[in-house]
Structure 1
Amino acid sequence: MGTGRPGRAASPAPRLNINALTPVETEKAVEDAGVAKTRLTGRRAFVSAMFAGAFIGFGALFFLIVTADPAMTWGPKRFVGGLAFCMGLVLVLCCGAELFTGNSLMVSDLAAHKVTLRQMLRNWIIVWFGNLAGALLLVSLVALAGTMGLADGAVGDLAVATAAAKVTPGWGTLFVRGILCNVLVCLAVRIGFAARSVADKVLGILLPIAGFVAMGFEHCVANMFFLPMGLAAKLMGFGAGAAGAGALDVGAIAYNLSAATLGNVLGGSLFVALDYWYLNAKPARKPSDPVLD
């Protein structure tokens, strides 16, 4: 005769939901993340931002390596380069890091009165400078590694040409390109929040990020790598024949970053964060409120 205890009824296996979060659920996830960002100490936020600056820099370097091939025609080169650049945001979203452009979404927390203006601006300032520090550190290491000399110097020449092309347009043009860029970046970040797996995150962000790169829009954190790397390559003797290379200096870098940064803030906060907060989190109209045609 068996002496074992009567078996317990088997508990049902948990149901695995593979569907992406709904827009309302995504908005809550975005806002919860924004609140958590304000609770980071200054040091933790800065170090995390350094990682993001370096991650985006790796994506930018991957772009330079891939698009240095002279055999590729313009369209395919931009698309393939954009896909390569996606590595940066994949690392940010999957490994965890503070990215200034993505943090534009914190404006939805401000609208919902979950964070104060001071808390949000404090995060933005720390993260912006942390992103810059991480990007500059990577520029130094890449220069020391001799990477600009790959493909018989084609990578270094392209670094100069790419940077020069970013400092020669008018400030207003760069500003609008910054707006358009961060609309796509923040939509990609929202896709990342909506995803339930690493694979979902990676696949979801590919087209928006590859798209903004292929379209030639301006991302301030990417430019924190592209522009100093171009200047460093120029000082190393690369890109002597690049159009506009003579204009590439520290002042030109500040010129681009001022326009790209302000455009990124406006694009991410006004055209993504506030709109999606209004659609998915703003308190609904009460039945007694009048309906305006």
Structure 2
Amino acid sequence: MRESARIFFRAVAAGIAIAIGGTVYLSVENKIAGSLFFTVGLYAIVLNGLNLYTGRIGYLVEQKEKRSYIWLLFLTWLGNLAGTSLAAVCLFAVRISSSIEEQARTVCETKLGDSVFSIFILAVFCGILMYVAVDGFKEKGNPIILFLCVSVFILAGFEHCVANMFYFTLAGVWSGRTFIYLLIMTLGNSLGGMLIPAVKKI
């Protein structure tokens, strides 16, 4: 129980970190600058050993005890949702709320207006980049890989389920359709994140 709580709260902290990255992305006009600054969230996560679903899912492939790792992933996903939602709710009370809410609604309109298949493919590509980013940092310790991969997935329009948890809450667009889209994004991120590790095992 104590270990589960530790996993969950580290995931909440990771969700807050992603929300901070999402906030700066929504706050700047220059998309390239915004995509680079967004990476502060992932950098904080890997430096502090926090639990981010898209940073953990790729390692399921190499786990011998998959059942316990799937439980970790489930708690991580829930914690990320709680953290991003908590951050978004807090932002409703600050002076920048109106401008970033408007930007979030525009972003969410595009995502929720897309087809399920398109969302899924875009999420797969994001999952690939997230694995490359996190594993590359683990192997080399160079943060440049984080900034490159995150910037690429944002500028390319790929779908990141945890970032979207934040955008959906901030924009106030939660619905049954939104939740289904989030699950599709999660599935795509999961398959994309496991693709390279699976290929490496062949």
TM range (shorter): over 0.9
Give 1:1-293 correspondences, 5 Å limit.
41-67=3-29, 77-110=30-63, 115-149=64-98, 153=99, 155-196=100-141, 200=142, 202-231=143-172, 248-269=173-194, 271-278=195-202
Using the TM superposition, give the Cα deviation of residue 180 of structure 1 relative to its aligned residue in structure 2, in angstroms: 0.4
Instruction: Report what 1:13 is aligned to.
Output: none
Q: Could you tell me the TM-score, scaled by structure 1's length?
A: 0.65
CA offsets 1:15-60 (integer angstroms, 9 cap, x no match): xxxxxxxxxxxxxxxxxxxxxxxxx810000000001111111111
Please identify, of 100-109 and 216-225, the stretch whose mean Cα deviation from structure 2 is larger.
100-109
Letter matched to residue 176 of structure 1: I
Taking the aligned partners of 1:190 and 1:277, their CA distance within structure 2 comes to 15
Amino acid in the other structure paired with 2:184: A
* The structure with more radius of gyration: 1
Q: CA deviation at 1:268?
A: 0.4
Decide whether aligned partners of structure 1 residues 249 and 224 sit closer, same or farther in structure 2, where only a CA change above 3 A counts: closer
Give the 3-state SS of the residue equivalent to 1:101 in structure 2. helix
Any gaps of 5 or more consecutive residues in structure 2? Answer: none
Contact 1:82 1:210 (C-alpha < 8 Å) held by counterparts? yes
In 2: Cα distance, 1:159 partner to 1:179 partner = 22
Give the Cα–Cα distance (whole angstroms) in 1 for the partners of residues 139 and 117 of structure 2: 33
1:55 corresponds to which letter in structure 2?
Answer: A
Identity of counterpart residues, as a percentage?
27
Distance, in Å, in 2 between the alignment partners of 1:96 and 1:66 is 28
Deviation at 1:252, TM superposition (A): 3.2
Calculate the aligned-residue CA RMSD, in Å: 1.5
- SS of equivalent residue, structure 1 residue 204: helix
Closer, same or farther: CA 203–48 of 1 in aligned 2, 3 Å: same
1:60-102 CA-partner distances (Å, limit 9, x unpaired): 11100013xxxxxxxxx33222112111111111122001011
CA distance in 2, matches of 1:134, 1:204: 25
**Distance change (3 Å), C-alpha of 1:277 and 1:193:** farther
Equivalenced residues, count: 201
Please state how far the C-alpha of 1:192 moved relative to its aligned partner.
1.0
Partner AA of 1:206 in structure 2: F
Contact 2:60 2:70 in 1 (8 A): no
The answer for unaligned runs of 5 or more in structure 1 is: 1-39, 68-76, 232-247, 279-293
